[in-house]
Every structure is written in C-alpha cells, then in structure tokens.
Amino acid sequence: MNERERILSLLSGKQPDRVPWFGDLSYWTIYLRASGNMPVRYGKEDYALHRDLGVGFYLQGYFPFKEVRKNYIEEETRRGNSVCKKITTPAGILTGSSVYLPDSYTWAVSEHFVKEVEDLKIVRYIYENTEYVPDYEEAQNRYDKIGDNGLVLCYLPKCPFMEMTAILSSIEHLSYIISDAPEEFAETLSVMETAHDKAAQIALDSPAECLMIPENLSSEVVGKSFFHEYMEPYERKWTAKIKAAGKYSFVHMDGTLKGLLSEVSGTGFRVMEALTPKPCGDLDFEQIIPMVPKDTIIWGGLPGMLFNDFTSDGDFDRYVQKLLLIMKTEPRFVLGVADQVPPGVRMERVARVRKLVDQYGNY
C-alpha cells in the first residue's frame, strides 16, 4: 500500500498494512530555504521533498477562502526585526507588533491587537464588515501534486475564542476583559461566529477531503471552563457538519493535553492531530490513549524536539520503535510529528523514520 491508501484505510475504519507516517515539514523547510540548505531541485514547493524522504504529506493546509474587508485599512511599519501594524476602521484603531527571531526562524508577538474592553467594538465592526470568497484552486491542484503520498486538507477558521486567544489577543488580556465585560465579550464572539460560519461553510464545500479546525489548543492556556463555555458548541456544530458531508474532521491540539484531551476528543473529531507526549508534553503516550474515544484516531506521538542532534541516533531509533510497538496494536494511530520538525535538523534524521516504519510498523 502507498501512504495515501494507508491513511484512507485507517480513516474509513479499516486496517492498512502498516502504521501511516505523516509529518508537517513546513517550519523545517522555512529554515532550509532561509539558511541556503534546501537543494535547488525542490524549488518553492515541498511535495517532492516529502516523497523523497518518505514522509506522507497533509500540512501545511490552507484556508480555501479569501477575506474581503470593507472600510478597513492595514498599515505596516518595519524597524529592524520588528513589524508594527495599524488597523484603521470607522469604529477605531487597533495596533499590534511582532519581532522576528533569527535564531529560531520565526516571529514572536510583542504587542497584541486586543488589549482592553474598548477594543471589542472594533473587532465587532471588522467581522460585521468581512465577506469570504471561495479560493479552491490550490485544493484541487494538490490532488495531482500530492498523488499517492498523502491527503488534501484545508482549514476552517479557528473557533472565535481561539481566534481571539491565539491571533488577536492573549489569554491574559482576555481574562481581564471577560471579568470586566462578560456580556460584551460574548456578544463579540457571537458576531465573530456568524462570520466564521460563512467561511467554514466555504471550506466544507471545497474539494478537500479532510478539514481541520487549527485551534493550536493547549490545556494550561484555555482550561475546562473556557472550553465548555466558549469553544465546545462551535466544535460540536462543525464536526457534525463535516461528518454529514462525508469528510473527515481534524483538530490541531499541539500543547499540553492533561486538562482538555478528553473534553476535546469527545466533541466528535475524527482525528486528534499533533498530540505531543513527554518529554515535550505533559502525558506519556500510554496515558493519552485511554483519554480518547476508541473510534477517534490519535495522530502524532513523535515530538519535534527529538529530531534535533541533542538526541542520539540510538535514542531516536529506540523512541520510534517503542512508539510503533504501541501503534501497531490496533488501527487507530498515525505516526506524526508533534508538532513540527524544527530548524537545524539533518535530512538523514527525517529520512530515518521511513526506514524504521517500514521495518517495525507492520501490523
């Protein structure tokens, strides 16, 4: 079987010949290109690299729609490694900034857009004046580009609470805002959800066979009370719609798991993706399994940190072998990077997983 046949077999409730192996290499390939270590033959796309390294492709997905905002002006100012953004609307102005971290090839937020209750009216105005237009070309093209080496996956919007927590604001700012103005905060999430539902329906209608809500959820950030009040209804609504459409629902839960894994996996997702065990997460892999319903696929298990040379070749091999020994006991697991292969990793280490899966991953 090829990797596409394996994963489709697993998603449909059948047993493939061996454990599927899929990895998100997008962060790593940013490093490869920025540092000049990417072989020229791979160009700007990662499909051939995945194939050559024996890694099934599914991410990065993308949002299969474009946002069209009315009466909205976004200005950007760069100073060294910092980028400051100013969003101007008739309802007011939001400002935010990020700093590029060259050692890690990534960005860090230094100022959030939403910092106080007065900012909520601007957020409502933005979402009340946002339209979404289908953008399906890339989803359709990926079937040919990926071929027999993976899946075509697109994103729905995050639920409104996680859009606020991860993109627009922070859990610290939101905790104060919720305490000071709970009704206005709930009204703002309702406005956002009305807009997100329109975008999510466009994603549902896309050519993609798999649909992910990219929550980037971590239990110590959100907690049970916020999850049940602000997130669970949205996730239940869209997992049901995705299932009714004959497609497969994913949630990206790449942080700590102990506090929310049972709750999130009980909302109807077909796949719990990027689950990260110890030594990076807060649970051993064996502890994760009983917290997830039997009919839900557990995808992940291989912490990105282990790909670094701080882990010896022998220790890396032993970790993967132990994980495969567990995963091949029943067809409900996908060996996946949790969450991404980081910068600085050797290609040989990534390619090594394919050899280990072929040798030790047969059911």
CA-to-CA distance for 40 and 346, rounded, in angstroms?
17
Mean pLDDT of each 10-residue bin along the chain, 363 residues long: 97 97 97 96 95 96 96 97 98 98 96 98 98 97 97 98 97 97 98 98 98 96 96 98 98 95 97 96 97 97 96 98 97 96 97 98 97
Considering the domain 3-69+114-360, what is its CATH architecture? Alpha-Beta Barrel (3.20)
Q: What is the dihedral of CA 342, 346, 350, 354, to 10 degrees?
A: 180
pLDDT score recorded for residue 132: 98
* The pLDDT of residue 193: 98
So what's the pLDDT on residue 61? 87
Coil/strand/helix, residue 50: helix
| Cα–Cα distance for residue pair 163/55, rounded to 1 Å | 30
Domain ranges of the chain: 3-69+114-360
pTM across the whole model: 0.96
Q: What is the spatial distance between Cα 356 and Cα 122, in angstroms, rounded to a whole number?
A: 52
- The tokens for 191 are 């406005």
| Number of C-beta neighbours around residue 283 at 10 A | 17
DSSP state of 300: E
201 Cβ contact partners less than 8 Å away, ≥ 6 residues apart: none
Instruction: List helix spans (H) across the chain.
Output: 3-11, 26-34, 47-53, 120-128, 137-146, 160-163, 171-180, 182-204, 219-226, 232-244, 261-265, 285-288, 313-327, 347-360
DSSP structure string for 195-222: HHHHHHHHHHTSS-SEEEE-----HHHH
Q: Please answer whether residues 134 and 63 qualify as being in contact, where contact means their C-beta atoms are separated by less than 8 angstroms.
A: no
Torsion angle of the four alpha carbons 7, 9, 15, 19, in this order, in degrees rounded to the nearest 10: -10
φ, ψ at 210 (rounded to 5°): -125, 140
Taking Cα atoms as reference points, which of 160, 168, 65 lies closest to residue 122?
A: 168
